[in-house]
Amino acid sequence: QDAEVLRSRAPELLAQCDLVVDVGGEFDPQRHRYDHHQRSFSHSMHSLRPHKPWLTKLSSAGLVYCYFGSEILAQLLGQPQDSPEVELLYDQVLE
């Protein structure tokens, strides 16, 4: 809610960010780095969440949805993140 959005490709600025999406050349969810442009990147929803069937290679937006979608939907719905309603809606967005 109180996030500041910074648009940059400058590595020294990206290093200071809490979360980096679609730039920076690295995919590291532990450090909240969600870029998909590396040649070695081949993740799909299924490879990151094996119980999900979708095999399409993820974009940066897909990575953000993969890691934060359930949490955001749960907040919007006022439901626990592991509720059947959140799970159903999460999957419907992907279909």
What's the pLDDT tens digit per position in 5-32? 999 999 999 999 999 999 999 999 999 9
Please report the pLDDT score of residue 58 as a whole number.
97
Reported confidence tier of residue 47, pLDDT bands at 50, 70, 90: very high
Please report the pLDDT score of residue 1 as a whole number.
75
Mean pLDDT of 86-95: 95
Secondary structure in 3-state letters for the chain: CCCCCCCCCCHHHHCCCCCEECCCCCEEHHHCEECCCCCCCCCEHHHHCCCCCCCCECCHHHHHHHHHHHHHHHHHHCCCCCCHHHHHHHHHHHC
Share of the chain above pLDDT 70, in %: 100
Q: pTM to 2 decimals?
A: 0.90
